[in-house]
Amino acid sequence: MKRTTILSLALLLSMPMMAQRTTSISLNPAEAKDKINKEIYGQFAEHLGTCIYGGLWVGPESSIPNTNGYRNDVLQALKDIKVPVMRWPGGCFADEYHWMDGIGPKENRPRMVNNNWGGTVEDNSFGTHEFLNLCEMLGCEPYVSMNMGSGSPEETAKWVEYMTAKDGPMAKLRKQNGREEPWKVKYIGVGNESWGCGGNMRIEYYSDLYRRYSTYCREFNGNRLYKIASGASDYDYNWTEVAMKQIGNRMNGLSLHYYTCYTWNGSKGSATNFNKDQYYWTIAKCGVGIEEVLKKHIAIMDEYDPRNHVKLLVDEWGTWWDEEPGSVRGHLYQQNTMRDAMVAAVSLNTFHQYTKRIGMTNIAQIANVLQSMVLTKGDKMVLTPTYYVFKMYTDNMEAINIPLYTISDTFKAENEQKGSPERVAPYVSASASKAKDGTVNINLANADLDNSNKVTIDLATIKGKIQKATILTSKDMKDHNTFEKPNVVAPANFKGATIKDGNKK
């Protein structure tokens, strides 16, 4: 018999233990067939606030310990979560970025105003070489977003040539700038949020432009490109429909952006100061809320592409709260609590279920921006609760999703915003997968703030022993890590998991 092991992850927020709920889950290993694309664990790094400068990059002259300019603490943290793919340079920034400003001797690189993000002056010291070399160091795929908003097809064509051609004028320029061999670049984004900051286009117009720009993204010396069209925001199903009709197989992937914030009008809600209603509403929005949206976009894609050639890429998702008081306006710096950890776990559990169509997702963003993995300040770095969820979930990458059925008590979530739908969501969210070596991973997230939950899992034909069980929990939903107290929220071994009757736990 193959070694079969259970990894159990529970995210328990409850502390008073007033009562105990029960949940039953049945695994269906007989139906396990879809691989959880490792790219679902993708990251996003934009020239925004201190994501790049200060977050990833401090420059080789910095007193902060670094390797060729990349800060060592962040490098190690990212290696530990096995980042599979990183999207760059934006976001909205991408559609104002001129890549030629970011190559060559640093002292000659022109400056620009980062109009989208606080009007900060960008010195272009982090450019194509710095990004692609970082991806090589991390062993992750680069995902480069082209400037379709204010750039030209020629600029796009030359960038692809510069990065991936062996010979020719752009390769010559690259070699002059110190890089002999082309990089391997697979993922190319053609515009970003083209319905908004990327040019305020209608999908009909965007589709034609996509066809034009993508034509000149050439494949050099065997480098296969995976071309991604700028997709819908949240509930814009018409965008997906027209893109599928007009672009079809000319794209390999179509993106979708889905953020979780309390309201877009005025305050988005505080990252650290929220009440129970707001907490539950957030969990429902990123769980049943995102599932509903995924289902609808996927249904449209299924209709136009029944053979599943074009993938859905949720290349921006996560929580978007008000900026931290005292931080620079427009830099989207926010703290990260147990609530954010729960959002990450519930969203990832949901993405696993749709991995057949979902080719990639990229949480926004990797450092110091929105729902980040790490926060940095000078030479200090803290790992966020969200980071730990990514770490606990790494074993799911490239494992086969095991369908499951969950019976859990539910909660009702309302947003005080007029017109916002009331959602009913389960307290316990789960997913399971089977890795190549036979290890079975079970991921559980219990959103209940007041009650513990006894989860019984029918493992069906799976037999084995528990190898590792990890829990991320804290006393309060608002708990978070700070530079002064970096270990308030951290994973621990979980001792409460047992196997009974051979296959029930």
Q: Which is nearer to ligand AHR, 341 or 364 (CB)?
A: 364
CB of 376 to ligand AHR, least distance (A): 18
Identify which range of 88-96, 212-220, 379-387, 464-472 contacts ligand AHR by CB under 6 A: 88-96
CB of 276 to ligand AHR, least distance (A): 27
CB of 231 to ligand AHR, least distance (A): 11
Can you say whether the dihedral through the CA atoms of 340, 342, 347, 349 is positive or negative?
positive
Q: Of 39, 122, 130, 193, which lies in the binding site for ligand AHR, with binding defined by CB under 6 A?
A: 193
Catalytic residue among 316, 323, 414, 484: 316
Binders of ligand AHR among residues 9 to 48 (CB under 6 A) are: 46
Identify which range of 85-93, 123-131, 159-167, 404-412 contacts ligand AHR by CB under 6 A: 85-93
DSSP code per residue over 35-96: B--GGGGEEE--SSTTSTBTTTB--TT-SS-EETTEEHHHHHHHHHTT--EEEES-SGGGGG
- Alpha helices by DSSP H, listed for 16-108, are 72-80
Q: In what order do the strands lie in the sheet with 465-471?
A: 400-401, 428-434, 440-446, 5-12, 465-471, 492-493
Kindly state the DSSP code that residue 25 receives in the 8-state scheme.
E
Kindly list the distances between the CA atom of residue 459 and the CA atoms of 248, 404, 454, 469, 470, in Å, as whole numbers in the listed order. Answer: 40, 10, 16, 16, 19
Distance, CA of 505 to CA of 457 (rounded, Å): 5
Distance, CA of 491 to CA of 489 (rounded, Å): 7
CB of 129 to ligand AHR, least distance (A): 22
Q: Of 192, 252, 453, 481, which lies in the binding site for ligand AHR, with binding defined by CB under 6 A?
A: 192
Identify which range of 34-42, 52-60, 220-228, 363-371 contacts ligand AHR by CB under 6 A: 363-371
DSSP reduced 3-state for 250: helix
Q: Of 39, 130, 316, 395, which lies in the binding site for ligand AHR, with binding defined by CB under 6 A?
A: 316
Strands 428-434 vs 400-401: parallel, antiparallel or unpaired: antiparallel
Kindly state the DSSP code that residue 57 receives in the 8-state scheme.
B
Q: Which is nearer to ligand AHR, 343 or 425 (CB)?
A: 343
CB of 248 to ligand AHR, least distance (A): 24
Residue showing the smallest CB distance to ligand AHR in the complex: 91
Per CB under 6 A, does 92 bind ligand AHR?
Answer: yes
Distance, CA of 259 to CA of 475 (rounded, Å): 26
- Alpha helices by DSSP H, listed for 233-355, are 237-246, 276-284, 290-304, 338-353
CB of 131 to ligand AHR, least distance (A): 16
x/- mask, ligand AHR, residues 418-457, rule CB under 6 A, reads ----------------------------------------
Q: Which is nearer to ligand AHR, 332 or 455 (CB)?
A: 332
Q: Which is nearer to ligand AHR, 96 or 130 (CB)?
A: 96
Q: Of 49, 55, 91, 142, which lies in the binding site for ligand AHR, with binding defined by CB under 6 A?
A: 91
Kindly list the distances between the CA atom of residue 421 and the CA atoms of 278, 281, 291, 319, in Å, as whole numbers in the listed order. Answer: 14, 10, 14, 18
x/- mask, ligand AHR, residues 368-407, rule CB under 6 A, reads --x-------------------------------------
Q: Of 89, 90, 149, 385, which lies in the binding site for ligand AHR, with binding defined by CB under 6 A?
A: 90
CB of 163 to ligand AHR, least distance (A): 22
Give one word for 59, left, alpha or beta, with left for phi > 0 and alpha for psi -120 to 50. left
Distance, CA of 312 to CA of 127 (rounded, Å): 28
CB of 192 to ligand AHR, least distance (A): 5
Catalytic residue among 155, 161, 193, 323: 193
The token pair that represents 124 in the structure block? 């272009």
Name the CA dihedral angle for 301, 303, 305, 308, rounded to a multiple of 10 degrees.
Answer: 70
CA 189 from centre of chain:
15
CB of 228 to ligand AHR, least distance (A): 13
Indicate the residue type of 148.
M
Catalytic (active site) residue 316: yes
x/- mask, ligand AHR, residues 222-261, rule CB under 6 A, reads ----------------------------------------
Catalytic (active site) residue 130: no
Per CB under 6 A, does 149 bind ligand AHR?
Answer: no
Paired with 443 in beta bridges are: 9, 431
Identify which range of 84-92, 165-173, 266-274, 434-442 contacts ligand AHR by CB under 6 A: 84-92
Kindly list the distances between the CA atom of residue 476 and the CA atoms of 161, 480, 489, in Å, as whole numbers in the listed order. Answer: 51, 9, 10
Distance, CA of 228 to CA of 73 (rounded, Å): 32
Backbone angles phi, psi at 52, to 5 degrees: -80, -65
Binders of ligand AHR among residues 45 to 74 (CB under 6 A) are: 46
Indicate the residue type of 152.
S
The token pair that represents 31 in the structure block? 């139906």
Question: Which stretches of the chain bind ligand AHR, using CB under 6 A?
Answer: 46, 90-92, 192-193, 316, 364-365, 370
The residues annotated with a catalytic role in the active site are 193, 316
